[in-house]
Amino acid sequence: MATQTPREGSLEAPTRHPLDWKETSFWSHDKLFQELERVFAICHGCRRCVSLCNAFPTLFDLVDESSTMEVDGVAKEAYWQVVEHCYLCDLCYMTKCPYVPPHEWNVDFPHLMLRAKAVHHREQAPSFRDRLLSSTDTLGSISALPVIAPTVNAVNRNATLRKAMHKVLGVHEEATLPPYSSKTFRRRFDDRGNPPEAIPAGPTRGRVALFATCYCNYNEPGINEDLVAVFQHNGIPVALTSQEKCCGMPKLELGDLDAVARAKEVNVPELARLVDAGWDLTAPVPSCVLMFKKELPLLFPDDAQVKKVAAAFYDPFEYLMLRHKHGLLKTDFKHGLGKISYHAPCHQRVQNIGPKTRDALALVPDTEVELIERCSGHDGTYAVKVEFHVMSMKIGKPVAKRVKEAAPAHYSSDCPMAGHQIENGLRDGTAPVHPLSLLRQAYGL
């Protein structure tokens, strides 16, 4: 019987399979490398993803410089060079790869890279720097202490000390490091201005519980304050989770799945309790939203609480535009915003919700929004590491170029770190303004 020729690509919607990290075979070094070789060979024959990040150029260079000019000529130890450049943005899976499931070749490059990171993490303990940078809640809780924050911020601004950090700690001297606020959002939050009743609309129940996130609690609490102001202005009560740990995304990118599980055990029961009490969920950082919406359900597919939380979690602008669809978003804007260069973060794009931030800002009169759909190259910790910073700036250079050419009144990104990566690329004295801050400004709040 003749064998059926594999289809060249697929037009079907991608189907994401759960990550079988509890299975013994997941951790097999030999089986991992068999799968890496299989997928790398497919990627080598396709090369559609070459413009996304440095994982693919690294792979293709290894192949092209090998004795056979095929994957079988690449030393297995060199595979780690590909793995370390993948920062799990998911864009290859969601926007480029024609061989994702249900295609029979079943290529999920980001989750294969995650598996490799997890195996490497288990086989070889991460460095002190990597453990430190990925422990965002611990780092924030210490660095934001009133007696500590001024010192940390002064160190991060001091060129001489940054050179020392570059050499000793491996944090690049030119990487943007965010300041710490001694008055964190959790200390600032006051819900006394909440309206008395919630008005449901479509899938939204009209009141949200806010997962503050490490970054917008310790580093830029003003973003959370702007979110609360905008939501309350639109008649949406906002509550704050009674406790939270880091969502787990930094540890996921490190391959520390056990740490992800520990964070889940703190966060998910509290969030599920709030859902049961009638609250929808949101967070100001796209990576954190993605973690609860997509990544945790794939890591814990049989956990009913994880599913419940995922179903109730919304990107802030996704939520506002759902309300707008039902006539419940106020458009009493008092100030136009002029021309905005708006960067859509990768971890928001792969949520498959559409450009809701762009759509919301475009409702403001006298406002023009230019959408930039390209990676900034930051990825939380990738851009601050000595070995990756230069490449991160190269990846983000086209974004900064688009902003510079547009000469906008504002440039903005839902990911605060991506916004500062653009700022680092421009180096012209301007600073990003978060979309929630822009919307608050338009309302005149």
pLDDT score of 7: 62
Predicted pLDDT at 3? 44
| pLDDT at residue 67, as a whole number | 86
Burial of 344 (0-12, 13-18, 19+ CB in 10 A): buried
Amino acid 5: pLDDT:
52
Predicted confidence at residue 399, as pLDDT, reads 94
Cα dihedral angle (253, 35, 306, 416), rounded to 10 degrees?
30
Residue 92 pLDDT: 87
| Residue positions counted in the chain | 445
Q: Pick out the chain residues at pLDDT < 70.
A: 1-11, 192-195
Residues 6+ away with beta carbon under 8 Å from 169:
128, 129, 132
pLDDT at 1: 39
CATH code for residues 331-443: 3.40.50.2300
**Contacts (Cβ under 8 Å, ≥6 apart) of 382:** 87, 388, 392
pLDDT at position 265: 96
CB 60 within 8 A of CB 94: no
